[in-house]
Amino acid sequence: MNRYPYRCKGFTLVELVVVIVVSSIMAIGITTFIARSVEGLNSSASRNQLATAGRIAIDRIALELHNALPNSIRVLAPTNDDQCIEFIPVEASTSYINPPFTGSGTASFNVVDFRDAVAGTAIYPAAPPNLYAVIYPRRRNQIFNGDNGAYANWPDFPTRGPIERISTIAASGTTNVTTVTMAPVLPATTHRFNRRSPTRRFFVVSDPVSFCVKTDKLYRYSSYGFFQTQVTAEESGTCVVTTPARCLPNYAAVASGRKKTLITDSIDNTGVTAFSVGTQTLNRNALITIALNFTDGTDSVILNHEVLTRNVP
């Protein structure tokens, strides 16, 4: 039998209020912890995605820079956070035998064969498109001097210099020898290289390539040709080789052979120099520094990379 029939069992109002307050504090803490954990996870994933995209872009630039013609890499100072790095890619190289260095020059010369040893066929077709012969690229302004005044026959290189257009690459009548025939702009029919290479090195190169940071994107430009003065502006409409319309290609120029390719976006290089090049000489290597700041909302990742280029020809 209950000794206290009129005593009720339960919680007092004070106890109930205390439980509600404590539970609320715990719920707020747990919710904040979960929210911050999710936010941190999302931020980490975003930064990882930015870093991955940035690393892929930088690795591509570095890979192509490793294949640059000695002494051909050049950059301009940043303008409104836009900046370009330009270089001439090497397609093949070998040792020369008898190129012209004196007199009025010749139209063709021989080099050590660089043919496919298995198939026995030439690496390049009889009339290779947009290929150029280079020997001892000592001065950068001479390498890029394709706008030599004859706009109608552009690119037109001086008849005495380190570079000239190639007409054909073919096997000669001598074993292990290849004949390179040049294609100077008329009325010139011969070319004379201005200096001998200490290592007798001969390069076959193609049109220059530029990587440019423009606003928040990184582009690759190719097949636009040689300009002695480096350009960063894109074409509007038709790009012609006359002053001052020298320019990089836009998307509309793909049909003409010039190409613009988007590499990556989400870049904010405000106050950051994207490309810088150390002193380049033909008896030492050069160091190129690449710095890109990738952003996505509040997340930001700055990637710095150094590329060592081999300039000894």
Please give the chain's pLDDT, 313 residues, in tens: 555 555 556 667 777 777 787 777 877 777 776 767 666 666 666 677 778 888 889 999 999 998 999 889 999 888 877 899 999 999 888 999 999 999 889 999 999 987 654 444 555 555 566 899 999 998 888 999 988 765 666 788 888 999 999 988 888 878 888 899 998 877 778 999 999 998 899 999 999 999 999 988 999 998 888 888 888 878 765 566 555 457 788 765 444 556 888 898 888 888 889 999 877 665 567 789 999 988 887 778 888 988 888 766 5
Question: Which phi and psi angles does 120 have, rounded to 5°?
Answer: 75, 15
- Phi/psi of residue 256, nearest 5 degrees: -90, 0
pLDDT the model gives residue 68: 92
Q: Which of 311, 213, 212 is nearest to 268 (CA)?
A: 213
CA 241 centroid distance within chain:
23
Per-residue model confidence as pLDDT tens digits over 204-250: 999 999 999 998 899 999 888 888 888 887 876 556 655 545 778 87
- Both tokens assigned to 249: 């290609």
SS (H, E, C) the chain: CCCCCCCCCCCCHHHHHHHHHHHHHHHHHHHHHHHHHHHHHHHHHHHHHHHHHHHHHHHHHHHHHCCECCCCCEECCCECCEEEEEECEEEEEEEECCCCCCCCCECEEEEECCCCCCCCCCCCCCCCCCCEEEECCCCHHHHCCCECCCHHHCCECCCECCEEEEEEEEECCCCCEEEEEECCCCCCCCEECCCCCCCCEEEEECCCEEEEEECCEEEEEECCCCCCCCCCCECCCCCCCCCCCCCECCHHHHHHCCEEEEEECCECCCCCCCEEECCCECCECEEEEEEEEEEECCEEEEEEEEEEECCCC
d(CA 139, CA 77): 20
Residue 60 pLDDT = 92
C-alpha separations of 300 from 9, 12, 272, 296 in Å: 60, 54, 13, 6
- Return all residues near 239 (Cβ < 8 A) that are at least 6 apart: 224, 245, 246, 247, 249, 250, 253, 256, 258
Q: What's the start-to-end Cα distance of the chain, in Å?
A: 110
- Under 8 Å between Cβ of 191 and 159: yes
Q: Is the pTM of this model over 0.85?
A: no
Give the whole-angstrom CA distance, residue 223 versus residue 130. Answer: 8
Report CA 148 to chain centroid distance, whole Å: 25
pLDDT at residue 163, rounded to an integer: 95
Give the strands of the sheet with 275-277, arranged side by side.
Answer: 275-277, 286-296, 299-309
Give the pLDDT score at 45. 65
Say what the pLDDT of residue 119 is: 44
The greatest distance separating any two alpha carbons of the chain, rounded to the nearest whole angstrom, comes to 132
Strands 201-205 and 90-95, by their bridges, are antiparallel
Kindly report the length of the chain: 313
